Structure 1
């Protein structure tokens, strides 16, 4: 199954380090970040889980819930969490999905549908495609997909930046330009006519007719 932006995020039930959840119910009226890992006790992922715990208050402030996933059991996750706290200074303060039956990884197209067997017998390389970030909106639709190789740590500051853009553009008829950050100028969405733009924004700067720049809406 190929998941694309705009698709419904597949719902599922799973055991996590904070108990059993149904994904859509767990999201509720919030936004959500689901980020996945090929195996517990892997070096790059250890740094990611620790950093995510450190900056989780930034996600909380944006009404974004965070949940991790790894192809191992909750017992393994708990042991890994102790290593993460020891080496990174922060233990996971969000749930980690136990996906040792590969159910979620297959639902989200990260492993082939025919994947089976004992998760403990698989190596990180066997699961190397399980290195994704999915941002899901309150409408349970996928808003962003990032896929990383095993050798490159993810940039969760960038995920926060994109969430700021997603939340802004969900509520206002604007788009954000390259490298945009909170508080900077934005562009009137291409779907808005000039007449509509005058009602919504009044004046704007236009170096080209199709590039209409306005201050970020409050």
Structure 2
């Protein structure tokens, strides 16, 4: 299976650290981010999931649920979670981990979703999962996806930034320019009709006409 933007994300029944869940029921009407990591008790993965845990309140503010996955058992995940809670945490806090992690010990989901890294293997010689990220909208469709090799840790600030862009463009007929962050001006694509521009951007738009072509296709607005 190769999921593309706009495809419906499968409604998997999942074995996780919070028990068995049906993905759609668990997501409800929220956004979801499913992300895989190569293996528990590995250095880069520990930095990633501890970072994701710290950012969990920021994702919650965006009406978004996180769920992790690797080719490890629930029991393995549960033991590793204690390391995640202690990593870079002066208080060595424990308590409840802020998101579930999926047991994909049989590699079924990793293979179905195309998340296998062909260059990385575990001690048994079995392939590991790559660092995939799927952004799932409230309509259960794939809104974006990222795929990193096992050797490269992800930037969760960028994942938040992409989520902000996806959520804003779901509400308004806009696109976000390079390096855009919340609060900065957005772009109004050329295919947005003038009457829709007036409806969605009553404050008006800025049109750049100083480019050599003279075409007014770059329209900026504050939202």
TM normalised by structure 2 equals 0.86
Aligned to 1:205: 206
**In the TM superposition, what is the alpha-carbon distance from 1:190 to its structure 2 partner?**
3.0
Out of 95, 102, 121, the residue aligned to residue 107 of structure 2 is 102
Alignment partners' CA distance in 1, 2:205 and 2:198: 9
**In the TM superposition, what is the alpha-carbon distance from 1:77 to its structure 2 partner?**
0.4
Q: Does 1:143 align with 2:148?
A: no
Aligned to 1:215: 222
Aligned to 2:98: 93
Structure 2 unpaired stretches of 5+: 210-215
More helix by share: 1
Matched residues, number: 207
Structure 1 runs of 4+ aligned residues shifted over 3 Å read 119-123
CA contact (8 A) 1:10 1:107 kept: no
- Residue by residue over 1:89-121, the C-alpha shift from the partner in whole angstroms, topping out at 9 and shown as x without a partner, is 266421000000212212212249xxxxxx983
Alignment partners' CA distance in 1, 2:199 and 2:16: 48
**In the TM superposition, what is the alpha-carbon distance from 1:201 to its structure 2 partner?**
1.9
Aligned to 1:154: 154
- Residue by residue over 1:138-185, the C-alpha shift from the partner in whole angstroms, topping out at 9 and shown as x without a partner, is 000111111112222111111111111111110111111111111111
Alignment partners' CA distance in 2, 1:73 and 1:120: 15
Greater CA drift, 196-205 or 42-51: 196-205
Alignment partners' CA distance in 1, 2:61 and 2:144: 19
**In the TM superposition, what is the alpha-carbon distance from 1:189 to its structure 2 partner?**
2.9
CA contact (8 A) 1:31 1:64 kept: yes
CA gap of 1:122–1:63, structure 2 versus 1, over 3 A, is farther
Aligned to 1:76: 76
Alignment partners' CA distance in 1, 2:150 and 2:116: 15
Q: 5 Å matches for 1:10-21? A: 10-21=10-21
Aligned to 2:51: 51
Greater CA drift, 134-143 or 37-46: 37-46
TM normalised by structure 1 equals 0.88
CA contact (8 A) 1:10 1:108 kept: no
Aligned to 1:29: 29
1:159 is paired with a residue of what secondary structure? helix
Alignment partners' CA distance in 2, 1:122 and 1:29: 40
**In the TM superposition, what is the alpha-carbon distance from 1:200 to its structure 2 partner?**
3.0
Alignment partners' CA distance in 1, 2:20 and 2:44: 27
CA contact (8 A) 1:9 1:141 kept: yes
